[in-house]
Amino acid sequence: MPNYTNLHFLRFLLFEVHPVKELFSYPRFAHLDEEQAWMLIESAKKFADQEMAPYYKEMDETPVRYDGKGNVLTHACLKRIIPIAAEQGWIGSTADFEHGGMQLPEMINGTAHHIFQAANNGVEGYIGLSSGAAGLITSFGSAAQIKKYVPPIFAGKWQGTMALTEPQAGSSLTDITTSAKHIEGDQYAIRGQKIFISGGQHEACENFIHLTLARIEGAPAGTKGISLFIIPKFRITESGSFEYNDVYCAGDFQKMGQKGYATTHLVFGDHNNCIGYLVGEPHKGLSYMFQMMNGARISVGLSAASVTMAAYQASLQYCKERPQGRLITEKNPLQPPTLIINHPDVQRMLFTQKAIAEGSLSLGMECNRLYDLVHAGEGDEKHNNWLLLEILTPIVKTYSAEQGSRAAALAIQTLGGYGFTTDFPVQQHYRDLKIMSLYEGTTGIQALDLLGRKVTMENGKALQILSSAIQSTIQEGITIPATTNCANQLANSLVEIQKVLAKLLPLATEGKIDLLLADATVFLEMVSYTVIGWQWLKMGIIAANQLNNAQQEKRSFYEGKLHTMEFYFTYEMPHIAACAKTLLTMSGLTSVKDYELFA
């Protein structure tokens, strides 16, 4: 079995870079210690080794299939994996004890899910979605709803989903038309269609709990008239038996990647017999859903980082085993070939992958730590951590997705022609990764979120907190010889961002909001390079400190961190200036009215 992640690196993140033990001082997590936490990670790894990784290729080669009669047929392994995941507590592991969860920090849950995603991102989704859906019910549902739906989801018997997208609306939730007509109590008659419903309906679970956005009759137009409903595939009668709830699966989308993961088309109420149960108050559905959505965005970022890590590990392993060619300084063809890892261009491709995979994993861990601090903390600290998490969410989601795809392309490239063949996993990683820039809000949507909302929220306070956090890492980095240069370079990039904002933000007061946001994606790219630079500086500082007293056998690991940090600052960070140059031009070139200009 190929490597797909690196436990040393996960320990480094959890115990040194983003010390999880700081969480254990909060009452919510006081039941844990480092040793227990690591045992959980090791058991997750064993589970992934035994039950997930072995099916990664097979699930790709025997894609999910729709039988034309409402059923979605998935790989047989799912029927075994989901119950084990439930038994080990990984469905809803972060939920409160009172709801049947393990009350784990997201840092630990996220690390386990990283392992699952790296091993087989086609199975992890089923588990993650159930956790998210149940989390939405425990947060906003009634006691009765929690009691009815959450335990079977945590037991892996029922699958939770999130149902937002409609064929005509796509990313524009304003235009959702699925309708809800009041019957009585929390019951509404639902009619409508949803597409791209991951884990929609399949044969590995006996019931499906769709957390669905719909519009109550007479509700205000736009996003302010959207409500959240629990729509089960089967209603539960008084006696506990199943009653079909008119939720028909009309198809499964065939895709270029994630072929083992069901992506369904659902039709609600085609026979006027679909009941949805209102969650919380009417018209507040979108804000509720954004709890799950924000979590899902971080989770997509982590998923992308995880697949990128798996591709990197496969690439690294190949490069350490494959002899080919000679160093440029060796002219004698009678000398044996060298391992390809010795070629500088191959090292460039490996370090690029490593910088992206580990940098985005570290940022994912940072986000999960903030998530935990928000949930465990109080007062100003809680609020400030929330603001920081808000501004980092579009970044972790997008950087990991976009740069992850680039890294996976390099993984293919290191294998040469073999990388393009299905004999090796890297081409599957490349295909699977492409969806990450589309899931849960495309890159363009994330960019609007960052520049149009997060940068300006609370008078720029989120951005200010982020800048302070980065500054404080810079101040530490400047004092350490091995990180001084990178710290200075990072400080410069903060200045560049300020320069760009000084020029862009006045556009808002001039009423040119369209021009302000036209290059939001370039701005997101620029800030992302900076934020990942921050993560690398953090890792570099820890590594430099550890090298002062590391045993010989661990020195290489820390030296590798410093080396990759330098690589990132030398090869990746210079693109910040390029983004800045484009942004400062404020060209308005992307507001063309005459479509013939595209011809």
Chain positions 21 to 50 lying near a second copy, rule: CB under 8 A, are: none
> Contact region for a second copy (CB under 8 A) — 49-57, 359-367, 535-543, 566-574?
566-574
Closer residue to a second copy, CB minimum distance, 138 or 446 = 446
Closest distance to a second copy from the beta carbon of 587 (Å): 5
Closer residue to a second copy, CB minimum distance, 8 or 46 = 8
Is 506 a binding residue for a second copy by CB under 8 A? The answer is no
User: With contacts defined by CB under 8 A, how many residues of the chain interact with a second copy?
Assistant: 106
Cβ(443)–Cβ(421) below 8 Å: no
The 5-24 contact track toward a second copy, x by CB under 8 A, reads -x-xx---------------
Distance CA 293, CA 57 (A): 29
Is residue 411 within a helix (H) or strand (E), and if so which, with residue range? helix 379-414
Candidates 104, 517, 537, 544; binder of a second copy (CB under 8 A) is 517
Distance CA 547, CA 555 (A): 6
Report the relative pairing of strands 207-216 and 158-163 from DSSP bridges.
Answer: parallel
CA distances from 453 to 135, 169, 510, 579 (A): 25, 22, 17, 20
Closer residue to a second copy, CB minimum distance, 158 or 567 = 567
Closest distance to a second copy from the beta carbon of 331 (Å): 9
Distance CA 286, CA 317 (A): 45
Distance CA 177, CA 135 (A): 25
Is 492 a binding residue for a second copy by CB under 8 A? The answer is no
Candidates 147, 320, 453, 499; binder of a second copy (CB under 8 A) is 320
Closest distance to a second copy from the beta carbon of 553 (Å): 9
Is 453 a binding residue for a second copy by CB under 8 A? The answer is no
Is 157 a binding residue for a second copy by CB under 8 A? The answer is no
Classify residue 573 by its DSSP letter.
T
Q: Which positions ≥6 away from 231 have C-beta within 8 Å?
A: 163, 190, 209, 210, 212, 245, 247, 268, 274, 275, 276, 277
Cβ(355)–Cβ(572) below 8 Å: yes
Q: Which of residues 360-399 bind a second copy (CB under 8 A)?
A: none
> Contact region for a second copy (CB under 8 A) — 204-212, 282-290, 378-386, 587-595?
587-595
Candidates 111, 131, 521, 535; binder of a second copy (CB under 8 A) is 521
Is 70 a binding residue for a second copy by CB under 8 A? The answer is no
Closest distance to a second copy from the beta carbon of 516 (Å): 9
Residue type, 571: Y
Q: Which of residues 194-213 bind a second copy (CB under 8 A)?
A: 195-196
Is 598 a binding residue for a second copy by CB under 8 A? The answer is yes
The residues pairing with 72 across neighbouring beta strands, listed in sequence order, are 66
Closer residue to a second copy, CB minimum distance, 74 or 428 = 428
Q: Which of 405, 431, 399 shows the shortest CA–CA distance to 576?
A: 399
Candidates 36, 172, 177, 472; binder of a second copy (CB under 8 A) is 172
The 323-362 contact track toward a second copy, x by CB under 8 A, reads -xxxxxx---xx--x---x-xxxxxxxxx--x--------
Q: Which of residues 226-285 bind a second copy (CB under 8 A)?
A: 253-257, 263
Cβ(341)–Cβ(315) below 8 Å: no
Distance CA 277, CA 211 (A): 10
The residues pairing with 268 across neighbouring beta strands, listed in sequence order, are 192, 247
Residue 520 burial (C-beta neighbours within 10 Å; 0-12, 13-18, 19+): buried
Is 68 a binding residue for a second copy by CB under 8 A? The answer is no
Candidates 62, 103, 273, 442; binder of a second copy (CB under 8 A) is 442
Distance CA 216, CA 230 (A): 14
Is 495 a binding residue for a second copy by CB under 8 A? The answer is no
Closest distance to a second copy from the beta carbon of 311 (Å): 13
> Contact region for a second copy (CB under 8 A) — 152-160, 447-455, 456-464, 537-545?
447-455
CA distances from 454 to 387, 448, 457, 580 (A): 8, 9, 5, 19
Is 560 a binding residue for a second copy by CB under 8 A? The answer is yes
